[in-house]
Amino acid sequence: MLLAVVLLLGCITLALSQETETASFFSEEISDSVFALMQGKSYKKDTTIPRSELRLVHVLHYDFDGNIKQGEIICNKAISKDLEDIFSTLFENKYPIEKIRPIDEYDADDECSMTDNNTSCFNWRPIAGSKKLSAHSQGLAIDINPLYNPMVKTRNGKQIVAPRASSAYANRAKSFPGKIDRNDLCYKLFTAKGFSWGGNWKSSKDYQHFEKRIP
């Protein structure tokens, strides 16, 4: 009898744990408090995408020490469900992601956020070295573990790596934790949802970057 009770309690605990984890992956509209923190940072004076088009996605993730962390992603509502599904599967597989915080916590400084290996999405800004707006400006692009998956390109015969602290990870022939390539689970999940990967670009390689075009 005692054994049956213990087993029953164990099953209930497991069910509750699974239910709690499922409930931890959800989206909500941008609250007044969150929007206030975005002002002058990711949401600048010339930002044209309406607040109503953005969502705050809540997720759980494992860091590189195996600890469970809570993450928050500000994105376009068109991809919020995609991100819920992708990050839920990554969590189930204990895929390591260092940090997942809105870039406003870094004053919307992309270099600073990337150097801290922070995964983020929305940030109204041009593509680095260009006047053209980045897909991040529409909340349709996300950078995953950017310190380990830098943007690499050659200009005037010189290699440029962003963030600058990522030079050790520019050589993609090396093997290391958090590396995104075509065999990586992160790559497979995002591309299955219709995202394109910056690692497939020709003029530069942006290994951290996934974006989705919305008709």
Q: Which domain holds residue 181?
A: 26-211
Please give the average per-residue pLDDT across 73-85, as a whole number.
Answer: 98
**pLDDT class of 6 with cuts at 50, 70, 90:** very low
Looking at residue 150, its pLDDT comes to 98
Residue 5 lies in a domain: no
Tokens 């520019």 -> residue: 170
Percentage of the chain surpassing pLDDT 90? 83
Residue 107 lies in a domain: yes
163-195: pLDDT as tens digits: 999 999 999 999 999 999 999 999 999 999 999
Residue whose C-alpha is closest to residue 140's, from 73, 88, 90? 73
Residue 15 lies in a domain: no
- Written as one letter, the residue type at 25 is F
Residue 151 token pair: 């943007």
Predicted confidence (pLDDT) at residue 19 exceeds the cutoff of 90: no
**pLDDT class of 126 with cuts at 50, 70, 90:** confident
Reported pTM: 0.88
44-70: pLDDT as tens digits: 999 999 999 999 999 999 999 999 999
Please give the average per-residue pLDDT across 31-45, as a whole number.
Answer: 98
Predicted confidence (pLDDT) at residue 14 exceeds the cutoff of 80: no
Residue 16 lies in a domain: no
Predicted confidence (pLDDT) at residue 13 exceeds the cutoff of 80: no
Looking at residue 73, its pLDDT comes to 98
Looking at residue 130, its pLDDT comes to 67
Residue whose C-alpha is closest to residue 127's, from 112, 116, 141? 141
- DSSP state letters, 168-194: GG--TTS--TT---TTSHHHHHHHHTT
Please give the average per-residue pLDDT across 31-49, as a whole number.
Answer: 97
Residue 41 lies in a domain: yes
Predicted confidence (pLDDT) at residue 197 exceeds the cutoff of 60: yes
**pLDDT class of 129 with cuts at 50, 70, 90:** low
The structural domain count of the chain equals 1
DSSP code, position 30: P
Residue 168 lies in a domain: yes
Please give the average per-residue pLDDT across 30-39, as a whole number.
Answer: 98
Residue 152 lies in a domain: yes
Residue 10 lies in a domain: no
Residue 148 token pair: 């380990």
Predicted confidence (pLDDT) at residue 15 exceeds the cutoff of 70: no
Residue whose C-alpha is closest to residue 134's, from 121, 118, 145? 121
